[in-house]
Structure 1
Amino acid sequence: MLVLGPAFASLWCGIRRTAIVGLTALGLCAALSYHHHTLGRKQNTLTLMTMTGVAAASVFASADRQRRERLLADVRSIAEVAQRVLLRPVPRRVGPMHIAVGYTSATAEARIGGDLYEVTLTPSGVRVIVGDVQGKGLEAVETAADVLGAFREAAYDEPDLTGVATRIEAALRRRLSAQRSEGPVDESAGEKFVTAVLAEFGEGETVTLLNYGHPAPFILRGGGDGAFAEPEDVAPPFGLSDLVDAHPRPYTIKFAPADQMLLYTDGVIEARDGAGGFYPLAERAHLLAAADPERALADLRADVLRHVGGRIADDAAMLLIRRR
């Protein structure tokens, strides 16, 4: 039984404490042997040798565990830096808007994935993008970084959302071309795409939207009524514009003070419960009634997790915007 001490110590303790536990166990084993007059016997000698081996192995195991923990800490630190670069913290107030952000990654221990968002104050007003990259993993993160980089640059330069979308499409095309030239041709490379919604909040009580195959934003009026801001026509996502001749057209809706707009990715509305039912966003919109936007979004996120009963199956990003 004494071998359990150093074995379990290697799981939680440092090298020094593991060595102390091992020496203590070895000392107790020798003391018990002396008490029972078994010192020097073959069986007792084998027991002491076993104790010594277990103690030494526990010390080495503890050292290896600490090395791996330091390596994991370094990797997490790098990941947090990458997160701040890719998904920069969004200020709570941008121009006349109150903003709250929520992001839940489907990958265990990950904080970023293929979903993306950005809020930028420009001469044309507050411009926003929320999108979802097809696929998962590092490749999806790299594609999201390219889309966000193009948006951040174009949002300041382009006079309208159509120009911003054109720049994003060009950046995505360059990335797909680079992927084909860097290695073997991937049959799915031509099918990679990014769904996104672009929004522009100007000085008036309206918002202009441009939807590229993304779930429609949900508008919650100050009086409590809610509806999805569906686009007038169906448009393909970024990266699939060659499939159709028509391009999406901007559409404008009313967005008065006290109104709220929830932009989200499909990880929210496609979250399933145990019976396979999708998350009923329109029915749960009353959860956004909290005075603090961050609290309102936290309530909605918690409700999504309760709906699925644990971890979600896809990345889920939510951006709640209120006009002050």
Structure 2
Amino acid sequence: MSHARDHGGAHRPSRPTRDRLAPLRAFAQRRATAQLAAGVPVLPLLFVFVIVLVDVVGGAGMIWLSLLAAAPALAATTNGPRGVFCIGLLAAVLGARLGVRDGVPAGELAAVLSALTAVTLASGLASSLRGRRERVLAAVRSVAEAAQHALLTPIPETVGPFQVAVRYSAAAAEARIGGDLYALVSTPYGVRLIVGDVRGKGLPAVGTAALVLGVFREAAYDEPDLLAVVGRIERSLARNLGGDDFVTAVVAGYGQAGHLEVVNCGHAPPLLVRASGSVLPVEPTHPAPPLGLRALSGEVPSLQVLPFDDGDQLLLYTDGVTEARNHDREFYPLAEGLARHVSEEPAGTLDALHDELLTYVGGRLHDDAALLLLRKPAASRNAAAAPATPGPATSASGASGPLASEPAGSGPPVSGRTASDLVVSRPTGARSDRF
């Protein structure tokens, strides 16, 4: 009896096993059918059958049979060599039978079939070369995508006390990489970030962007002073860039709770979004040249310290956004768009802003565009970043500069400085020996 139980137990699972495998077999069949359908040259087949039908109905003979040579050429645009040769063979067989049926002279029919054979061979070669180019392009795109991930490392949604979102679009869509750069790191001196734009496009711009980001990530951990971070980047570019190359950039840091440090080197001014919803451009109090051009101008950047409270947001971007034009050649109004779409979720804000930008330009940007939005949520009040070791950036005082601002709860933005929006600006002329 025990043997019977064992024997029966061994067979009882057999039917459920077949039942479990049935969906897998059905899925495999559907996949094979889909692959077969994708490889079938539907349009060339339809073309051949139309020619055959016209010939059968009209009995036109050579007038229509010569058009069969277009079928393999059409197949070469969408199918591989196998599909091309199949269409060529089908067209040759049907053409021969129709020629005999219509009484086409043997010499003329042979000429038609010879032309059809030559077109089929040429189309098969063209299809093979096209497939090879597509595979090479796919490999290049995968390498470019890997390079972009290594260069522009993904930024988490939360860094320190901040919510963060990033959107990047390369003008070279096939390469998926461009000359715009961004990075955000958490360091012993607080959260630090950079957004920049390299002059030019292509591989030289990518190489310069990699250089800037590498120096920034290293210096951000080593230097307690944000201006020293900028100085490290400047010195590296001075050694490695040509005379006409440069990088515009904004470097920012949150080292002391409630205050944001900003250094602008020839870049577009960031947009500060107050908790009240007003959008204010952070214009540099002492304009500085782009990175890599300091030796030519003699100007040095200055440090701005901005109040940055709970609910405030800061948008950094590249000129691919503000210089995007519509069909009327009008620039995209970024500040107005940000005011329309600002929310408590940076990712949602940038999604809406990016979609509106693409709609504004007609679906495709003609320059690299990067957007980085930093938001300090209200919940971070009790978990704000601890003050960093006091350095010149937080302890020095100097000439104060204007910032377009408005008091909380007021109406449209007004220009000017208020007690609640004090900007402390520290020029670095006295410390230029550090750079």
- TM-score, scaled relative to structure 1: 0.91
Matched with 1:58 is: 123
Give ranges in structure 2 of 5+ residues lacking alignment.
1-66, 378-435
Matches within 5 A, 1:110-189: 110-176=175-241, 189=242
Structure with the bigger RCO (C-alpha within 8 Å, sep 6+) is 1
Residue 196 (structure 1) aligns with:
249
The answer to whether the Cα contact below 8 Å between 2:261 and 2:306 also exists between their aligned partners in 1 is: yes
Say which of 12, 15, 35 aligns to 2:81: 15
Task: State the match for 1:254 in structure 2.
Answer: 307
SS of residue paired to 1:11? coil
Question: Which has the larger displacement, 251-260 or 103-112?
Answer: 103-112
Structure with larger Rg = 2
Residue 36 (1) aligns with residue 110 (2):
no
Local SS of the residue matching 2:243? helix
Q: Counterpart in 1 of 2:277?
A: 224
Q: Find the residue that maps to 1:30 and give its secondary structure.
A: helix
- Contact kept in structure 1, 2:270 and 2:315, CA below 8 Å: yes
SS at match of 1:58: helix
8 Å CA contact 1:98–1:323 kept in 2: the answer is yes
Percentage of pairs with the same residue: 49
Counterparts of 1:193 and 1:200, CA distance in 2? 22
Q: Which sits farther off after the overlay, 101-110 or 148-157? A: 101-110
| TM-score, reference length from structure 2 | 0.69
Distance 2:256 2:90 in 1: 74
Q: What letter matches 1:152 in structure 2?
A: R
Q: CA RMSD in A?
A: 1.5
Q: Tell me, in whole angstroms, the C-alpha distance in 2 between the residues paired with 1:290 and 1:66.
A: 46
TM-superposition CA deviations, 1:168-210 (whole Å, max 9, x none)? 011111212xxxxxxxxxxxx3131111000102351221111
State the distance in 2 between where 1:292 and 1:175 align.
Answer: 40
Question: Residue 99 of structure 1: which of 154, 164, 169 is its match?
Answer: 164
SS in 2 for 1:250: strand
Q: What do the CA deviations read for 1:45-80 (whole angstroms, capped 9, x no partner)?
A: 100111111112222121111111111111111111
Map residues 207-246 of structure 1 onto 2, 5 A cutoff. Answer: 207-246=260-299
Worse-matched range after superposition: 204-213 or 292-301: 292-301
- Secondary structure at the counterpart of residue 130 of structure 1: strand
1:78-124 per-position Cα deviation (integer Å, ceiling 9, x unaligned): 11111111111111111111111111222242322111100111011
Structure 1 residue 291: deviation in Å?
A: 4.2
Letter in 2 for 1:272: R
Q: Which residue of 1 aligns with 2:150?
A: 85
Structure 1 partner of 2:346 = 293
Q: Aligned partner of 1:28: which letter? A: L
Deviation at 1:284, TM superposition (A): 1.5
Q: Deviations over 1:192-240 (max 9, x none)?
A: 1111000102351221111111111101112111101112111111111
Moved more, 197-206 or 122-131: 197-206
Q: 1:36 to 1:100 in 2, by over 3 A?
A: same
- Following superposition, the deviation at residue 287 of structure 1 comes to 3.6
Residues paired across the two proteins, number: 311
1:158 maps to amino acid:
E
> Given the alignment, which residue of 324, 329, 347 partners 1:276?
329
Q: Distance in 1 between matches of 2:177 and 2:355?
A: 18
Measured in 2, the distance between the counterparts of 1:68 and 1:109 equals: 13
* Distance apart, 1:312 and its partner CA: 2.5
- Is the counterpart of residue 307 in structure 1 residue 370 in structure 2? no
Distance (Å, rounded) in 1 between the aligned partners of 2:345 and 2:287: 34
Which residue number corresponds to residue 183 of structure 1?
A: none
Query: In 1, are the aligned partners of 2:227 and 2:303 still within 8 Å (CA)?
Result: yes
